[in-house]
Structure 1
Amino acid sequence: MNHWNMPGPAILFCPADRPERYAKALHRADAVILDLEDAIRPESREAARRSLIEYPIDPDRTIVRINPAGTDDHQSDLAALAQTSYRAVMLAKSESAESVAQVGYDVVALVETPAGALAAAQIAGAPNCIGLMWGAEDLVAAMGGRSSRFTAAEAHAGRYRDVARQVRGMVRLASSAHGRFAIDSVHIDIADTDGLFAEALDAVNLGYEATACIHPSQVEVVRAAYRPAPDDIRWAEGVLEAAATSAGGVFRVDGQMIDAPLLAQARAIIRRAGV
């Protein structure tokens, strides 16, 4: 089966009821998430589904976010998708492996509720799950909270609160355990480019493959964070060259002992660099 693959680190949300933005969003980002859920008023969803059908864009670089399982909109979304060439969907408020398996498409499971967070490992194990993403704001709202981050009046301003950080880690662990890719949550403060860069860089260091964007201006910031530095690329190339002639086990590169974890890091750097 030809599964949908992540084409790059910057994925841009686009409301599905704004077809005039589809191609522009795809041009700016590595991939686009056409949103049939939160970005659209309920009364506009039927028009959005028609736009999804009538204004196709590259299915290899497009994910369609559909409404949660068990809702009328969910079934209507699937009926519209059947009339398109899209094969990857993002299931909003994923809470079980069964709900993912029943979709029938390659699924990026969006973990954004307490039940979904607790079931992340099972969700990642669904046979048609290709990746996980987590949503900070919906998660906190579902718990009756006010903010996923510390406010300007608090210590650690701008950082995620502990529960949000915990779920971020759980999603990464679950995706890695099952060989799925992971997409980091959006940074809702569009003007905070320094914060976005730091957060995306942290996502890279945790092994996230992409970060979702809510505005085109965030795309280049995310790409810059995911792009390995020249020194890192040179180190990784040296490690892989040495590995090719090594008899196996531990070997030395420029005085550094290289074992399996460092070899895996070198491969990840080269993969991100695209060389």
Structure 2
Amino acid sequence: MTFLMGPALLFCPADRPERFHKAAQRSDAVILDLEDAVAPADKKRARGAILAQLGTKGEVPELEPSRTIIRVNPAGTEDFEKDLHCLAHTPYRTVMLAKAEDPSQLARLEGYNVIALCETAAGVLNAPAIAAAPNVVALMWGAEDLLASLGGTSSRDGSGRYRDVALHARSTVLLAARAHGKEAVDSVYVDIPDLSGLAAEAADAVASGFGSKACIHPTQVAVIRAAYAPTEAEVAAANQLLAAARASGSGVFQHEGKMVDGPVLRHAEATLRRAAGQVPPNAL
């Protein structure tokens, strides 16, 4: 199964089945979370909620497998094994592995498309090897779990800017994913009311090369989609640049006073793909 990842991926606690379909309808893909969003005492009920909605008719239709991700608990835990047993009885074949730290962990997920969540020091340092695993289709990074693994207290400073170590992890995961032709997913923005801050961070994710951004509240979806949708002026400029390239017939030329070569043209092509809602070359 090919998983077509849209720009806004919305987390939904797996023990809240009344939210499943609303989350799916309001986002490009829904992440049913069996890990951090569910209290340990409620994980069994969460797995049961995923199974209970399968094949139900009428008010609660089955979630679309190509737009559904299941975040499972870390490999090596008892809950991970129970999560896999649950998934075996579902049509869902795209999973997000929490706290991925080593490529050997991916062997237990053979047959699944895996979004490896690098959110510990070991996971970030091993991101290139994890990205190389054949069943990994994307890497995502997580800021708060990363800082917790380091013994820190917050991923951001008083101004709201990511601390240097978090920025380093973000870049490392992006580079590892793209170097292996895999998708890259930017971390969530936890300050839900701060939509302007989210807009700025999502715009940076687009410009940096992240194919999508995860979010934790439906109000964040529109902001992320807007960041990934080029403006009419950007589309017009991209079309004009590509037309000029065709007319030039040269590898390097000047356009509106600026030097243009292959990488600049690929930027323009990426803008037009986003405008058309097409999946980028490295997508799943």
Q: TM-score range by the shorter chain?
A: over 0.9
User: In the alignment, which residue of structure 2 is the partner of 1:72?
Assistant: 78
Question: TM-score scaled to structure 1, two decimals?
Answer: 0.93
Q: 1:186-210 deviations in whole A, cap 9, x for unaligned? A: 1111111111111111111101111
User: In the alignment, which residue of structure 2 is the partner of 1:154?
Assistant: none
Q: CA deviation at 1:249?
A: 2.1
Q: CA deviation at 1:243?
A: 4.5
CA contact (8 A) 1:238 1:253 kept: no
User: In the alignment, which residue of structure 2 is the partner of 1:62?
Assistant: 68
Q: CA deviation at 1:101?
A: 3.5
The amino acid that maps onto 1:174 is A
Q: 1:203-235 deviations in whole A, cap 9, x for unaligned? A: 111011111111111111111122112111112
Please point out which of 122, 125, 130 is paired with 1:118.
Answer: 125
Please point out which of 97, 108, 119 is paired with 2:103.
Answer: 97
Give the gaps of 5 or more residues in structure 2. 54-61, 278-284
Please point out which of 123, 147, 157 is paired with 1:150.
Answer: 157
CA contact (8 A) 2:10 2:214 kept: yes
CA RMSD of aligned residues (A): 1.5
Residue 17 (structure 1) aligned with residue 25 (structure 2): no
User: In the alignment, which residue of structure 2 is the partner of 1:264?
Assistant: 266
User: In the alignment, which residue of structure 1 is the partner of 2:33?
Assistant: 35
CA contact (8 A) 2:13 2:32 kept: yes
- Name the CA distance, whole Å, in 2 between partners of 1:245 and 1:34: 49
Matches within 5 A, 1:126-137: 126-137=133-144
Q: CA deviation at 1:239?
A: 3.1
The amino acid that maps onto 1:5 is L
User: In the alignment, which residue of structure 1 is the partner of 2:58?
Assistant: none
- Name the CA distance, whole Å, in 2 between partners of 1:91 and 1:210: 17
Per mean C-alpha deviation after superposition, the further-off stretch among 184-193 and 248-257 is 248-257
Q: Rate the CA distance shift 1:264–1:144 in 2: closer, same or farther, 3 A.
A: same
How many pairs were matched up? 268
Please point out which of 209, 212, 221 is paired with 1:210.
Answer: 212
Q: Rate the CA distance shift 1:40–1:264 in 2: closer, same or farther, 3 A.
A: same
The amino acid that maps onto 1:216 is P
CA contact (8 A) 2:2 2:66 kept: no
- Name the CA distance, whole Å, in 1 between partners of 2:122 and 2:67: 29
User: In the alignment, which residue of structure 1 is the partner of 2:200?
Assistant: 198
CA contact (8 A) 1:183 1:212 kept: yes
Q: Percent identity?
A: 54
Q: 1:69-106 deviations in whole A, cap 9, x for unaligned? A: 10111111111111111111000000011212331210
Q: CA deviation at 1:247?
A: 4.1
The amino acid that maps onto 1:38 is D
User: In the alignment, which residue of structure 1 is the partner of 2:235?
Assistant: 233
- Name the CA distance, whole Å, in 2 between partners of 1:243 and 1:102: 48
